[in-house]
Amino acid sequence: MFLRNDDLPRGTRLSLRIAVLGGFAVALFAVLFFRLWNLQVIDGSHYLAEAQNNRTREYRVLAPRGEILARNGQPIVQNRTSLALLLNTSKLPKDEAEANAELTKLGSLAHMSLKKVRKTIAEQEKVAAGAPVTLRRDVGYDLIYYLEENKRSFPGVSVERVFVRSYPDGSEAAHVIGTVGEVSEEQLKEKRYSNLEPGEEVGQSGAEYAYDKYLRGVPGKTRVQVNAMGEPTPGGQLVQVPPTPGKDLVLTINQAVQQAGEAALSERGLPGAFISMNVHSGEILAMGSFPTYDPKVFTEPMTQSQVNELFRDPILAPLTDRATESAYPTGSTYKILTALAALENGVITPSTTIVDNGYIERAGQKFENAGGTAYGAVSLVSALQVSSDVFMYELGSRMWDKPYLQEWSHRMGIGDPSGLDIPGESEGLVPSRNWRDQLFREGNTERPWSEGDNIQLATGQGDLQTTPLQLAIAYAALGNGGTIVTPHVGHEIRDAAGRVLKEFDPGPRRHVKINPASRQAILEGLHEAAQVAPGTAAGIFGGFPVPIAGKTGTAERPGHADQSWFASLAPYPNPNIVTIVTIEEGGFGAESAAPAVLQMLEAYFNKQASEVTTSGGAE
């Protein structure tokens, strides 16, 4: 029979319990021993490294961006150092009331309300979570000394030297150079920003964006030893790798012409745009828009009024580059395209004569010259000289059932992206039968394409929408004999010593075959329009010593007063530059836009026009 545990002698039962407990203790000790052995022997080096890392902090040292220079080497954008007040929000007290008390005290020193401090933190953490928050730049030394003396009262607060963009000439070429800002959370997901970290600055628009990979330098790093409070220890700097500054970008911009264009628009005080471009290379010598803005505002905290002015005013829209982003009807400056389409398709010859009685009538609709003026029998040259609308109406009528106008518009660069190296340009619109008929089928317009649509298009009216840049490309192609250039503002990249590292020459987009006789007739008409009485701009350019070809334009825009245009090619007959100015609600082309172009041409030729031959000009 078996003995129960209760039947065992008392001493035997005690021995069994001790044996069980001893076995358990031995097993537990073995587990602990092997765990300690694993930590000390197998993983010891790993944890030693982690422990050492806990005593160090590594900081990225942001690199200064490269400068942006005009083609003459004068800086348009530089850098300056600024003292920035930074806050590491992870060091704030966990208790909300205590955190608000500390932020209130900090805000009073930085002249910021608690609400503004909280808003600044929220906005920056949304963009770059975990990065120190920049509360304010350009802080004074008094504040620095105070914070240094009261470190323990402001944990997580530091003052660092940072590089800030500086603009020697204020708003000069603002729309060309663009802006910089902290890389956003969305941008960090893009391949071009894959090596960046929150808090770093990148180009956000204009040339700053287009050439960011050259302008942006390589950050350095500093590794320091810290104590248990996370504060650097005396002499604790372990590693220092200095940042590599970005390369310098030289633009194609001619400062004299740029400044003249900006002054011309500013004097007139109306929204508008200008562009001057080399007809052979596509190098943009000047490009601007009015109203403009001072890029400096993006380097500092903006007031609400500044935000409203820059981002919420749909009329003035100072951030909009009207030279590339705003599309308009062009009025009579479009007539070179009507002339080309008619000549190259055999609708007329340079000697064809049309009788201008002041109007034509089609399907009960009357199309008149400005003021109802009748010019009598006119050929192409004289029609361009006096800007006979009736002559062009007749051409539009003869071509209304053929896509000649649309085909030549697109060939010459109207209604298509130009390939400009800075972002944001508008595509525009060349109205056509297919376009309007499709809208009609969809119920988005009251009628299909008609003869009147083509008549309107022949004088740059109706539904035409194009940019000053596209019009400049079309005039450049006429001037150079048919080459469609690629417009660009980037000229070359230089290192700090001024050595050229890379040159930019995108080359032409294509070549359009233009009959030399057609080109000669149109240029002759433009020359007489600009400088031979009774040319529409002869009163402005008649005494200008450099021969030019040019065309006024007065465009009707629904809901607006007439828009003023002038397009020029100089010197005539072998031009080097095309210059376009448009002024919203500026009236007749000869009233506002033509005098503005004159100011730019005077700057281009350096007021020494008598020394310039018709074979070339000065850059």
Q: What is the DSSP string of 522-536?
A: HHHHHHHHHHSTT-T
Q: What is the pLDDT of residues 304-359, one digit of tens each?
A: 677 677 777 788 899 999 999 999 999 999 999 999 999 999 999 999 999 999 99
Lowest-confidence pick of 48-62, 263-277, 398-412, 478-492: 48-62
Average pLDDT over residues 549-567: 96
CATH number reported for the structural domain that contains residue 275 in this entry: 3.40.710.10
**pLDDT grade, residue 186 (50/70/90)?**
confident
* Residue whose C-alpha is closest to residue 68's, from 247, 213, 248: 248
Give the residue with greater pLDDT, 157 vs 403.
403
Is 1 contained in some domain? Answer: no
Res. 82 pLDDT band, cuts 50 70 90: confident
pLDDT-derived band at 392 (thresholds 50, 70, 90) equals very high
- Whether 227 and 289 map to the same domain: the answer is no
pLDDT exceeds cutoff 90 at 367: yes
Backbone Cα Rg of the chain: 35
Lowest mean pLDDT among 127-131, 456-460, 567-571: 127-131
Residues 231 and 336 occupy one common structural domain: no
Average pLDDT, the chain: 87
Q: Is 603:288 a contact under the CB 8 Å cutoff?
A: no
Sort 228 into a burial class: Cβ within 10 Å, 0-12 / 13-18 / 19+: exposed
Residue 560 in any domain: the answer is yes
Which domain-ending residue is among 209, 225, 249?
A: 249
Q: Which structural domain, as residue segments, surrounds residue 64?
A: 57-249
Q: Looking at the structure, do residues 175 and 271 belong to the same domain, yes or no?
A: no
What is the number of domains present in the chain? Answer: 2
Same domain, 203 and 281: no
In the predicted model, is pLDDT for residue 58 greater than 80?
A: no
Is the pLDDT at 222 greater than 90? The verdict is no
The verdict on 233 and 293 lying in the same domain is no
- 260 lies in a domain? yes
Q: Are 503 and 247 in contact (CB under 8 A)?
A: no
From residue 495, how far is each of 48, 207, 425, 484, 489 by CA, in Å? Answer: 43, 17, 30, 32, 18
* Most confidently predicted of 98-102, 556-560, 598-602: 598-602
pLDDT, position 377: 97
* pLDDT range class, residue 52, cuts 50, 70, 90: low
Q: How far apart are CA 588 and CA 313, in angstroms?
A: 27
Residues 531 and 430 in one domain: yes
Contacts of 503 (CB under 8 A, 6+ apart): 491, 492, 493
Is residue 91, in this structure, part of any structural domain at all?
yes
* 466 and 381 together in one domain: yes
Helices (H) and strands (E) in the chain, counts: 20, 23
Nearest to 196 by CA among 186, 183, 209: 183
Give the CATH number for residue 236. Answer: 3.90.1310.10
Within a domain: 305: no
- pLDDT-derived band at 608 (thresholds 50, 70, 90) equals very low
Q: Is residue 475 in a domain? A: yes
Report the alpha-carbon distance of residue 530 to residue 536 in Å, rounded. Answer: 7
The residues, ordered by sequence, that sit 6+ positions from 26 with a Cβ below 8 Å of its Cβ are: none
Q: Are 89 and 177 contained in the same domain?
A: yes
Torsion of CA 311, 316, 321, 323, to 10 degrees: 170
Q: What is the pLDDT of residue 9?
A: 61
Cα dihedral value 95, 97, 99, 100, nearest 10:
160
- The highest-confidence range among 89-103, 194-208, 387-401, by mean pLDDT, is 387-401
Whether 18 shows a pLDDT value over 60: the answer reads: yes
Amino acid type, 65: R
Statement to judge: residues 228 and 272 lie in one domain: no
pLDDT confidence of residue 618: 39
Q: What's the per-residue H, E or C state across 275-317? A: EEEECCCCEEEEEEEECCCCHHHHHCCCCHHHHHHHHCCCCCC
Q: Are residues 234 and 263 in the same domain?
A: no
Residue 22 located in a structural domain: no
Output the pLDDT for position 452. 97
Per-residue confidence band for 129, with pLDDT thresholds at 50, 70 and 90: low
pLDDT at residue 369 tops 70: yes
At residue 302, the pLDDT reads 64
Q: How far apart are CA 393 and CA 461, in angstroms?
A: 11
Residue 5 lies in a domain: no
Mean pLDDT of 541-556: 97
CA distance 388 to 368: 10
The DSSP output letter for 92 is S
SS3 content of the chain, % helix, strand, coil (to 5): 40, 20, 40
pLDDT in tens, 223-234: 766 665 555 566
The answer on 266 and 287 residing in a single domain is yes
Question: Do 579 and 464 share a structural domain?
Answer: yes
Q: What percent of the chain has pLDDT over 70?
A: 84
Residue 110 clears pLDDT 90, i.e. is over it: no
| pLDDT tens digit sequence for 280-318 | 999 999 999 999 999 998 887 666 677 677 777 788 899
